[in-house]
Structure 1
Amino acid sequence: MKTEGGRFSRGFKAALLETMVKTPAVEPAPRAGSTSAGSAASAGKFDTSFETLPAYQAFRTQRAVADALHLNFPFYRVHDAMAGARSVIAGQPVVNFASYDYLGLNGHPDITAAVIEATKTWGTSVSASRITAGERDFHRQLERALADIYEADDALVFVSGHATAISTVAALLGPKDLILHDSLIHNCVVVGAQLSGATRRPFPHNDLAGLEAMLAATRDKFERVMIITEGLFSMDGDGPDLARLVDIKDRFDCWLMVDEAHSVGVLGATGRGIAEQAGIDPRRVDIWLGTLSKTLVSCGGYVAGSRPLIDFLKLAAPGMVYSVGMPAPAALAALTAIEIMRREPARVARLQANGQLFLRLAREAGLDVGTSAGYAVTPVIIGDSLRTVLLAERLLKRGINAFPIVPPGVPEKSARLRFFISSEHTEAEIRAAVAATAEEVAGVEREGISLGTIAKLMIKRAT
């Protein structure tokens, strides 16, 4: 990409415009005339082309811009190695900051052996929902281990982390209820809230004074109220004041759900999550939610809490009743990961040290890390989506894989590179990644590329 004085050259702008011109908008298919009155037929009257979907049109434009900038599209990029602190992309070894194998357990020999044995004994599927013929003892073993993390009565595992939240929220609440969730809560909670039929109101991120004011104004208008937050937010790397949250939920007679997808194995001296870190009795939280795909290097999700809660979900959560039970390889992988986490707390300590090192170096380099607390997730906030994708591409060429997060994954003008930190990253790798990121951020800023630049070219194309 050639620039003139740090700005785009006329030749580059002309090439970009030409590429976009060669990517015309897809016109809706011609519509046939209206059918006669009373006729049930409507063939050709309505547009059934997927190509005319607005989101698809936006996708085509994004691809055109990426092609003009000689960028490889960053989504669905194939990795040729096991997920972890290092990977291989298109034959190039990279230091990987895009996978959430926080404790470096993926491929651990104990887990691999457990999965092989489980497959030999139980096969690859239980071939039924658990409520019918799919129940196995390994389900109960894993659920007891998860419940133990929270000193809970029981736990329940689902085959999908996303569906865990959807099913739980939708099953517990209805039209007479209220859901108050952090504005940056994960999509799975939002979808579950929508399906429940309950009133849904977000409160500003980690603003517990705002939450308290909302409860004071509305609590008596609803039967049940659920407050939902995350132990460690996946895009910002910060978390809530749990002690204050449990006090609020007690005073206003609410349920409190905490999503620990990114905080189990990350927070607390032994990786038991935000309750351990905050010194709070985990039984004061009504519903613990989590996934098995991050620290526990498997697939699926879980809920932990009181026995009545778990008994209810076994009969009422759609993702449990109407879905196949978790297969043995996934269950034994997660169970063995929990056992390793318990016996090797040094992995948690190493992860936390690496996270703090990355955060300190990034701040010293003048990078915008937002409100990150410096554990397993630290963003480098760029703002402009196109600059963020460019940065990810340039870092990849330097052997550093950090994924660009752009809207709708984050709010407009807050696009970022997200760095997942692992216990297995070395100090040298972390220092090199921060230094390279700072250099590339400065370079992209000098060049002046932005979505605004592209918007002007699009206007020129239209006229």
Structure 2
Amino acid sequence: MVAKKLSRDLKQKLIQQSLQRKLKQAETDAAKPAVSLKETTIPDKFCRFDQHPGYIQMQIINRGAEQLGVESPFFRVHEGLAGATTIIAGHELINFASYNYLNLSGHPEVNQAATQAMQRYGTSVSASRIVSGERPIHRELEHALARTYGVDDAVVFVSGHATNVSTLGYLFGAKDLIIHDEYIHNSSIVGAQLSGARRLSFPHNDLDALEHLLKERRHQFERVVIIVEGLYSMDGDFPDLKRLVQLKQQHRVFLMVDEAHSFGVLGNSGKGLRELADVDATDVDIWMGTLSKTLSGCGGFIAGESALVENLRHLSPGFLYSVGIPAPIAAAAIKSLEIMAREPDRVRRLRSISEYFITQAKALKLNTGDSRGIAIIPVILGSSVNAARISSALFDRGINVQPILYPAVPEKSARLRFFLSCEHTQEQIDTTLNTLASLL
């Protein structure tokens, strides 16, 4: 029996190592520079999508998963509202895979506000806002966001990812420098690439390294911007905002904070990282956030001084050439802001259940990494195969949590990522963690 187990474990390890070698080789091949070819010698890989490096990498992952007997955890269909629980394939599961942190998506008042806006304005404004897509509800939302942040104004984009891409791509150029935390979201990296600016990263939350970079490189560029996240979506930790403001002022650079996951979550009333750090909102030049987490919709926003917002509203391509956000989405976000302000207990309950989760997880000797125990808590397993297999086993036991696998994170950092909701109960947490511990 022991020999069979060792043989099976060894087989899995060899398959996993082979999979990683193939993935790294695919990445190496994709990074090779293009060569000049005569028309008659162009190979299939340059004119067929089934030879595209990304598709090949995806097939390698799928074949490896089949060999290991691991079912794909992706694209599972939720059959209703996804909150602390969800329905998949007709079965109710405890749900840790959605960022409905304050349980406002599906709230009766939010639904009613969206329905009324749809009845008045339809499901689409049918044009770019600058042309003929502007509706009163757009400015109502932007004013509400600006008031919440305590800044001059805000502008709402139709996509959260495009908010960062278009803002950075437009505001900065070839003579500028974009410095970001190494764990920054893909949207900021793509925006930096689009801008043509020089891009440098510093080790995660290492502000000494950031200070060294600024001392060494600031004088070589015109505009410089530091980009960090308010709450990191993979690790559940956050930066020292007070020191970031000091560095920004000392070196005369811009500071941008991506609050996709921190707005509505951090601080006593959910006003984000600045409330937690007790920093004036005007000390940060660019506040970015999304409508898809605590604000029950989709899209993104930039908040800040009037000159920034007016500049983006008239000239940022992602806003200028995109349809305006649908009125029902704007209405849902406005109502969510109202409920957040009226019911701060939702934020307190989220913090309380998050603290309970991380305390119990640590008591069971689970590795929660650097998480600060607010809304996002990883359990690091150190193996993509283990993460995928245990995610599947939890699913079979009525618990929905997504694995984060290589190459999304380094293999040694493969993990399960738990998103908490203010509606999760201690009983659900106990069931989940005890089941996970038994599987490990």
Q: Indicate the structure with greater helix content.
A: 2
Q: Deviations over 1:219-256 (max 9, x none)?
A: 11000100000000000000000000000000000100
Residues 59-98 of structure 1 correspond to what in structure 2 (within 5 A)?
59-98=58-97
Select the structure of larger CA radius of gyration. 1
50-59 vs 281-290, which deviates more? 50-59
Letter in 2 for 1:301: G
For the residues of structure 1 that align with 2:9 and 2:305, how far apart are their CA atoms? 66
Contact 1:3/1:9 (8 A) holds in 2? no
For the residues of structure 2 that align with 1:255 and 1:348, how far apart are their CA atoms? 30
For the residues of structure 1 that align with 2:272 and 2:348, how far apart are their CA atoms? 13
Partner residue in 2 for 1:392: 391
Cα distance change on mapping 1:4 and 1:331 into 2, 3 Å: farther
Secondary structure of the corresponding residue to residue 381 of structure 2:
strand
Q: CA deviation at 1:41?
A: 7.5
Cα distance change on mapping 1:121 and 1:3 into 2, 3 Å: farther
Residues 283-322 of structure 1 correspond to what in structure 2 (within 5 A)?
283-322=282-321
Contact 2:114/2:329 (8 A) holds in 1? yes
Cα distance change on mapping 1:306 and 1:41 into 2, 3 Å: same
Contact 2:45/2:51 (8 A) holds in 1? no
Aligned residue pairs, count: 419
Q: Deviations over 1:105-149 (max 9, x none)?
A: 111000111111111100011111011001111000100111112
Partner residue in 2 for 1:368: 367
Contact 2:266/2:272 (8 A) holds in 1? yes
Letter in 1 for 2:136: D
Secondary structure of the corresponding residue to residue 87 of structure 2:
strand
For the residues of structure 1 that align with 2:222 and 2:359, how far apart are their CA atoms? 46
Letter in 2 for 1:126: V
Partner residue in 1 for 2:197: 198
Q: CA deviation at 1:54?
A: 3.2
Partner residue in 2 for 1:269: 268
TM superposition score normalised by structure 2:
0.91
For the residues of structure 2 that align with 1:115 and 1:10, how far apart are their CA atoms? 52
Residues 342-421 of structure 1 correspond to what in structure 2 (within 5 A)?
342-421=341-420
Q: Deviations over 1:377-408 (max 9, x none)?
A: 00001121111100100111111111001133
Secondary structure of the corresponding residue to residue 413 of structure 1:
helix
TM superposition score normalised by structure 1:
0.87
Contact 2:130/2:320 (8 A) holds in 1? yes
Cα distance change on mapping 1:239 and 1:40 into 2, 3 Å: closer
Secondary structure of the corresponding residue to residue 156 of structure 1:
strand
Q: CA deviation at 1:265?
A: 1.0
**Greater than 3 Å deviation, 4+ residue runs:** 2-13, 39-47
Secondary structure of the corresponding residue to residue 331 of structure 1:
helix
Q: CA deviation at 1:81?
A: 2.1
Partner residue in 1 for 2:24: none
Q: CA deviation at 1:410?
A: 2.0
Partner residue in 1 for 2:330: 331
Partner residue in 2 for 1:162: 161
Secondary structure of the corresponding residue to residue 239 of structure 1:
coil
Secondary structure of the corresponding residue to residue 183 of structure 2:
coil
For the residues of structure 1 that align with 2:391 and 2:43, how far apart are their CA atoms? 44
Residues 30-49 of structure 1 correspond to what in structure 2 (within 5 A)?
47-49=46-48
Q: CA deviation at 1:43?
A: 8.0
Letter in 1 for 2:120: T
Partner residue in 1 for 2:279: 280
For the residues of structure 2 that align with 1:44 and 1:214, how far apart are their CA atoms? 44
Q: CA deviation at 1:70?
A: 3.5
For the residues of structure 2 that align with 1:296 and 1:46, how far apart are their CA atoms? 43
C-alpha RMSD of the superposition: 2.1
98-107 vs 427-436, which deviates more? 427-436
120-129 vs 2-11, which deviates more? 2-11
Letter in 1 for 2:112: A
Cα distance change on mapping 1:410 and 1:44 into 2, 3 Å: closer
